[in-house]
């Protein structure tokens, strides 16, 4: 009897240990939200949909100390509320414009020791779970290695105490962040935004950023994809864009590019498939209720993780009676071609031919029409057209909502509409819906139906690309100069070049009547800048690194 009891006890302990090890060995998907000291309320944070909150920013000083934290009572309230929900709170140190102190701290072993000691004191004082370093960005010959030394010292102090160490890094071309950071950080927050003014954070950029860091050897579970809760140009909050009339299901409002719910969901799926988490800047600019991007992220995470305690997202129904645009996997818009030739998915902006009225065809199907003519699937036997006077079988489609927030269209032949990635005319002959058969959509406002060509101008389209504009050298050595050679130069218009830092301050402005300009850096501090080049109707943006 005792022997049987012992055997049962051993078996039970084994099962408990096995279960515990399985739980411990599975790395949970991280959902990290930054809450700035200057914005947002703790009471509005959706803690049940997050795993980490970063309080930003604590500003380091050259002596290894730090400036008094803004809103300390807010931090205390954040820690109490987050810990009550099992959410970790990390102090984010530095930030754009607030990271100058690192340049003095990092090279000196003595100042590094002082800084680390002060960080430990701060972490203990506020009962924090770790430190996030946001140095934008180490440059020159020595700073990348000095940054590694600083992180190593922090790691040695934090990890034995069970505290986290993370860092925010540039999305692509982050050679200033050396691979030695990988084993000593719990994860890297990849800032896959601010790449360009209008299309500063596309899905393609997210893919490229993940490819870059994973290609360098960053472990999958440490690759946390960053997404923006703001639009550019202008760094306008997502919630502010909504208040101005932007759609939560779009990525464009006037001349401002942002990430709406479909793109955020698509990026969350990407992060789930290829990384270890998703990060957002910042929680204070999220939408409310059904427009919340945090909630959109949570819907994907809950679905992917098999969390049956969270109901699946509601089925998206077609916006019957609304005029919409459709955007393909290539980031281009679907055009009716005014019914004069087969339809394509290759337009950079939404104008008259890129607007479609959604109609009710009955039996759960819809129609799409432009300027009184209906879109036809051509039964899959020929490229699609928008030239039918009546909506019969070939002009009826099933509207299908996909898990990642996109939609697909199925023709009456049972096959899916394909954008053909914008390379050739659209068809309706695909047996399954994959990338080219997925579309995002947005509602075209009443006023915009007649004025949209003016809202999204040629200049806006040009600002989303760099064309053949050349900037060299880049990076540029501080105190020297770089050259700008303008693409499609219009000699009748001046060339204006503006440099803006990460705090949105203009640090340099030049105006000339020439297609080639030399821009001195003078006393501009080292760091990352966004350069805007304007010549007539053409506008280009580029990143400039001053070392």
pTM of structure: 0.58
pLDDT at 33: 98
pLDDT tens digits, one per residue of 477-497: 777 888 888 777 778 778 878
pLDDT at 490: 78
- In order, the DSSP letters of 132-156 are EEE-S---TTTHHHHHHHHHHHHHH
Q: Residue 159 corresponds to which tokens in the numbers above?
A: 């990890």
Is it the case that residue 297 has pLDDT exceeding 50?
yes
pLDDT at 523: 76
pLDDT level of residue 504 (50, 70, 90 thresholds): low
**Burial class, 379, CB count within 10 angstroms (exposed 0-12 / middle 13-18 / buried 19+):** middle
444 Cβ contact partners less than 8 Å away, ≥ 6 residues apart? 322, 323, 324, 325, 350, 355, 452
118 Cβ contact partners less than 8 Å away, ≥ 6 residues apart? 64, 65, 66
Backbone phi and psi for residue 158, each to the nearest 5 degrees, phi listed first? -80, -45
Give CA–CA dist 516/514, Å, rounded: 5
pLDDT at 198: 79
Asked if residues 308 and 342 have their Cβ atoms less than 8 Å apart, the reply is no
Q: Of residues 522 and 21, which shows the higher confidence score?
A: 522
pLDDT at 3: 44
pLDDT at 445: 64
Is it the case that residue 312 has pLDDT exceeding 60?
no
pLDDT at 214: 95
Whole-Å CA distances, 182 to 138, 139, 162, 221, 276: 16, 19, 18, 11, 14
pLDDT at 282: 97
Asked if residues 351 and 453 have their Cβ atoms less than 8 Å apart, the reply is yes
Give CA–CA dist 229/429, Å, rounded: 37
Q: Of residues 13 and 124, which shows the higher confidence score?
A: 124
Q: Residue 111 corresponds to which tokens in the numbers above?
A: 């100042």
Asked if residues 249 and 440 have their Cβ atoms less than 8 Å apart, the reply is yes
Asked if residues 442 and 252 have their Cβ atoms less than 8 Å apart, the reply is yes
Min mean pLDDT across 250-259, 403-412, 426-435, 469-478 is at 469-478
Start-to-end C-alpha separation, the chain: 76
- Hey, what domains does the chain have and what are their CATH numbers? 30-305 (3.20.20.80), 322-443 (2.80.10.50), 470-546 (2.60.40.1930)
Is it the case that residue 384 has pLDDT exceeding 90?
yes
Is it the case that residue 10 has pLDDT exceeding 60?
no
Give CA–CA dist 485/499, Å, rounded: 16
Q: What is the DSSP letter of 317?
A: P
Q: Looking at the DSSP assignment, which residues form a beta bridge with residue 485?
A: 470, 516
| Three-state secondary structure call for residue 194 | coil
């Amino acid at each position: 009897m005792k022997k049987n009891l012992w055997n049962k006890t051993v078996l039970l302990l084994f099962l408990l240990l096995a279960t515990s090890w399985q739980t411990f060995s599975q790395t949970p998907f991280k959902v990290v939200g930054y809450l700035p000291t200057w914005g947002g309320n703790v009471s509005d944070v959706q803690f049940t949909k997050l795993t980490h909150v970063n309080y930003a920013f604590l500003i380091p000083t050259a002596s290894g100390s730090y400036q008094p934290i803004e809103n300390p009572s807010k931090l205390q309230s954040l820690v109490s509320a987050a810990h009550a929900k099992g959410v970790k709170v990390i102090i984010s140190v530095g930030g754009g414009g607030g990271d100058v102190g690192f340049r003095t701290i990092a090279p000196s072993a003595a100042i590094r020791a002082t800084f680390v000691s002060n960080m430990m004191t701060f972490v203990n004082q506020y009962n924090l779970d770790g430190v996030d370093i946001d140095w934008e960005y180490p440059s020159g010959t020595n700073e990348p290695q000095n940054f590694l030394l600083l992180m190593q010292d922090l790691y040695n102090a934090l990890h034995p105490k069970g505290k986290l160490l993370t860092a925010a890094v540039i999305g692509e071309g982050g050679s200033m962040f050396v691979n030695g950071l990988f084993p000593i950080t719990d994860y890297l927050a990849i800032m896959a935004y601010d790449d360009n003014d209008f299309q500063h954070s596309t899905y393609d950029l997210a893919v490229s950023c993940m490819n870059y860091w994973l290609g360098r050897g960053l472990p999958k579970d440490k690759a946390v994809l960053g997404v923006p809760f703001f639009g550019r140009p202008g760094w306008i909050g997502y919630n502010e864009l909504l208040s101005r009339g932007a759609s939560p299901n779009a990525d464009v409002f006037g001349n401002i590019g942002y990430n709406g719910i479909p793109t955020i969901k698509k990026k969350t799926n990407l992060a789930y498939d290829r990384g270890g988490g998703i990060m957002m800047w910042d929680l204070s600019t999220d939408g409310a209720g059904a427009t919340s991007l945090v909630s959109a992220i949570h819907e994907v995470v809950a679905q992917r993780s098999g969390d049956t305690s969270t109901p699946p997202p509601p089925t998206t129904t077609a916006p019957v009676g609304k005029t919409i645009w459709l955007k393909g996997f290539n980031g281009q818009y679907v055009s009716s071609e005014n019914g004069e030739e087969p339809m394509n998915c290759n337009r950079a902006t939404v104008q008259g031919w890129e607007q479609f009225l959604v109609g009710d065809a009955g039996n759960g199907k819809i129609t799409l029409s432009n300027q009184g003519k209906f879109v036809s699937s051509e039964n899959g036997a020929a490229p699609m057209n928008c030239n039918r006077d009546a909506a019969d079988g070939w002009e009826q489609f099933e509207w299908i909502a996909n898990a990642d927030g996109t939609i697909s269209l199925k023709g009456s032949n049972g096959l899916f509409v394909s954008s053909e990635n914008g390379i050739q005319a659209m068809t309706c002959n695909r047996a399954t819906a994959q990338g080219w058969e997925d579309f995002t959509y947005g509602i075209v406002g009443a006023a915009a139906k007649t004025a949209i060509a003016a809202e999204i101008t040629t200049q806006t389209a040009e600002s989303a690309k760099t064309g053949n504009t050349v900037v060299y050298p880049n990076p540029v050595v501080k105190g020297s100069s770089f050259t700008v050679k303008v693409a499609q130069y219009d000699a009748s218009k001046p060339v204006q070049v503006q440099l803006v830092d990460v705090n949105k301050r203009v640090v340099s402005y030049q105006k000339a009547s020439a297609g080639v300009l030399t821009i001195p850096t003078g006393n501009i501090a080292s760091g990352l800048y966004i350069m805007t080049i304007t010549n007539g109707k053409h506008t280009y943006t580029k990143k400039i690194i001053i070392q």
